[in-house]
Amino acid sequence: MAVNLTAPVHLYPVKGVRLGVAEAAIKKPGRNDLLVIELAAGSKVAGVFTQNAFAAAPVQLCRTRLTGAVSIHALLVNAGNANAATGETGLHDARALTAVLAHAMGCAAEAVLPFSTGVIGQRLPVERMAAALPHALAGLHADGWQEAARAIMTTDTVPKGSSRRVLTSEGEISVTGIAKGVGMLCPDMATLLAFIGTDARLTPEAVRQCLHTATAVSFNCVTVDGDTSTNDSAVLFATGQIGTQNIGPTHPDYPSIAAAVTEVCVELAQAVVRDGEGATRFVTLKVIHALDVKEARQVAYAVAHSPLVKTALFAGDANWGRLVMAVGKAGVPGLTPGDVSLALEGVKVLERGEPHPSYREEMGTAVLAKPEYTITIDLHRGDAAATIWTCDLSYDYVKINAEYRT
């Protein structure tokens, strides 16, 4: 059960974007698992991708096609099969499917970006997927974001979407995004599949900058289990359907548009953690007064990735010794116990390496019994800080992943 997360009530259409879904029975029958996103001619597209050495076939193709001369016209997304660790066969299958879609849409194959999520090491059911594409194309419509969010789900329990509208000098623009990802989730770019669209008339440079700025404070600040997926991808597309002026990074309207994109990405990033596999707690980890951001993140992830910490969070056990253990193992040069203070949702537990005199066990237990809370670690070493979001490690996480292929 997701932690304080419900399905999005309304997602604004983005002018120049149509979405259609279909059932291809990729892993199991009885659900839509194929998504086509059509983009208006001239749309500007940017992406960030996994740093895993076993980057999936679709990731490899996306990287190549986004640096090519052909404008992107469509995205093809499937759930249930990652098309990763499939070698040349996987690349052939991804190319073949994008070629089928491109032929049906009247564009070049290089104008289609493929994305996959699901089981690693298995070949895509190419024939079933190709046969389902006409249904997805027949269903293309501007209000398809909700259906799209459901179609890309794997072990997600709740579809994830977010929307903003911004009034600019060129008119009102929309920013809408969807995402999936609840396990094998740790930043090394963006940590999941996420698709964000806007109808603002952004330049290619603005789209790239906007996406990289947003992912730095959203998708690259979450972790469920410390494992970086082979298929992580986040894409921002700007259709340019609103206004007549190109908006670059120095344009007066850029900051408000970029802020909306960042807000959508943060909401999506938090949603995937709230829906982490088996999650019962949503935890914000703040590391403050570090020497630099790298040091702050190093400590935050040492805590977030500790199985002992995560299981204590699941139990609601205020065993704060596990927290200081994780801080101590982070490998920060010169860090001493006297540098470190710890607080649970404002309850002071440790003050510069000494147990706080006012702390009582029941105070910590009351905090950790909540479905969501903040843990603050003060290093007293500088002015830098970092915030990440994580969840607990429950019985259900083990069950879900033990039975993932059954």
**Helices 321-328 & 293-304, crossing angle to 10 degrees?**
130
Q: Which of 117, 155, 191, 284 is catalytic?
A: 191
Under 8 Å between Cβ of 23 and 30: yes
Round to whole Å and give the CA distance between 317 and 315: 5
Whose structure tokens read 């292929």? 405
Of 17, 16, 37, nearest to 152 (Cα)?
37
Helix H, strand E, coil C: the string for 195-246 is EEEEEEEECHHHHHHHHHHHHHCCHHHECCCCCCCCCCEEEEEEEEEEEEEE
Q: Which residues pair with 18 in a beta bridge?
A: 38
List Cβ neighbours of 240 (8 Å cut-off, separation of 6 or more). Answer: 16, 40, 42, 43, 44, 199, 200, 201, 202, 246
Active site residue 191: yes
Round to whole Å and give the CA distance between 249 and 252: 8
Classify residue 216 by burial, with Cβ atoms within 10 Å: 0-12, 13-18, 19+: middle
Whose structure tokens read 């299958």? 93
Residues known to be catalytic:
191
